[in-house]
Amino acid sequence: MKKILYVPITILLFIVGCSENPSMSETELALLALLDADEAMGLDGLGSNGDMDLDHEVGLESGGVAKIYSDTLSFGEGYRLRFGRRITDRDRTVEFDVDGDVAIGLITYTITGDFITKAIDTSNHEQIDSLSFFKEFESMFSRKVRFVQVEDANNPDGYRWQVDALTPMTGGAGDKVSIATLSIYALNDSMEQGDLLYHFEADGLGDLFMDRDSLPSFTAFSKYIIESSVENTGPELIMDSTGVGEWVLKNYGMYRQMRGRKYLNDKGMFLDAVMNDNIHTGVWRVHGPGIGQNSRVFRSYFSTIDLATLFTEDGGYNSVTWSLPYRSQRPD
C-alpha cells in the first residue's frame, strides 16, 4: 500500500494530533508520529539562522575546553568571512509503502531561504558592504526510513511500530559540486591518523540502511579525523594560491541554538596530505551529550559548497549535503 502525504512542517504537529484526519490511516499517523519524535530525523541544525563564524560551536557541552576559532584566515586583502543559511520555509513529502509488518517511508524535504555572506574587516571588525550580500536558495533532500512491527502486549493490537533503520539524508542544489566519499578515522595520541571507523560512498548511499540502535558513535571530548573527497565540475572560482575551488564543512548538533560547524581544508596542512587533490580533511573534537546525560543522538551535515556561491553575489547556489545521525557517548 503506497500513499503520498504532502505535509508542511509548520503544521505537522496539528495534523498528527488530529485522529479524524480522513487523508491518513491510523498506521500512517503512527509512523508520522515516530518520525517527529525521533531526534535522528529532521533538518534542524542545518541552518544557522544567519551569518556565523567559519568554525563555531554554540549551546553544546564543550567539556570545559575553550573554543578556538579558525575563521581568522584572510581571504583577499584583510577580511574574513561570516556566512550561513537562514531557512524561511520548509515542506515535507512522505510516501509510505506498507507491506505486512514492514513499512518503508520515503521522506523528501524542500527548503527555501537566504544564503548570507558577510565580509568583516580584520583591522576594525566592521562589515565591508561591497563584499557582503545575501541570495535566495532552494534545496531538496531525501532519505528512507524503515519501520517494523514489534510485539507489545499492552497494545490492543498486540504490536506497535518502531523505527528500525534509516538511510543517510542526501541532497542539495545546483550541479557543480558533489561528494564522492566520506571517511572518519580515530586520531591517535601522536596526532596521526588511526583506524578507519566509518566509511560512506556515493554509490548506493540512498539505499544504505543504518540500524537505528547502531548509529555511528563517538566518545565525547575525543578527537577524530574526517576526510571527504569531492568533485567540482567548474568553472571554479579560485581565491588563493592553493587552487581550491570549493569548501567542505561539517555542521552538527540539534538545532540552531545547539550546533556547531567545522571547516575541512584541502590546503595540504593540518593533517591534509596533499594540496588541492579534492580530499578535504579536518579534526573534529566531539562535544558532550549534555549535562546530566551519558548518551544522546545528534545530527551531522557534511556539505561541499563552491566558492562562487560563497564569495560572489551572482555566482549561483551550488551545494550538496550528506546528513548522518550520530551518538555522543560520555567516556567511562
Among candidate residues 134, 112, 139, the one with its CA nearest the CA of residue 50: 134
CB atoms within 10 A of CB 13: 11
Q: Give me the pLDDT at residue 71, please.
A: 40
Q: Give me the pLDDT at residue 78, please.
A: 85
Residue 153: what are its φ and ψ, rounded to 5°?
Answer: -65, -20
- Tens of pLDDT, residue by residue over 102-152, are 999 999 999 999 999 999 998 999 999 999 999 999 999 999 999 999 999
In the predicted model, residues of the chain with pLDDT beneath 50 are: 9-22, 66-74
Residue 327 parent element (H or E): strand 319-329
Task: Give the start-end residues of each E strand in 122-192.
Answer: 133-151, 159-166, 169-173, 177-187
12: amino acid identity, one letter: L
**C-alpha cell at position 166:** 534509516
Q: Give me the pLDDT at residue 57, please.
A: 95
Query: Got the DSSP string for 253-321?
Result: EEETTEEEEEEEB-BS-TT--SBTSSEEEEEEEPPBS-TT-SEEEEEEEEEEEEHHHHH-TTS---EEE
Q: Give me the pLDDT at residue 63, please.
A: 81
Helix (H, G, I), strand (E, B) or coil at 77: coil
> What pTM did the predictor assign?
0.91
Q: Is the link from the previous residue into 289 a cis peptide, with omega within 30 of 0?
A: no
Burial of 73 (0-12, 13-18, 19+ CB in 10 A): middle
The full set of domain ranges for the chain reads: 2-329
Among candidate residues 19, 13, 21, the one with its CA nearest the CA of residue 37: 13
Residue 279: strand pairing partners: 229
Q: Give me the pLDDT at residue 2, please.
A: 58
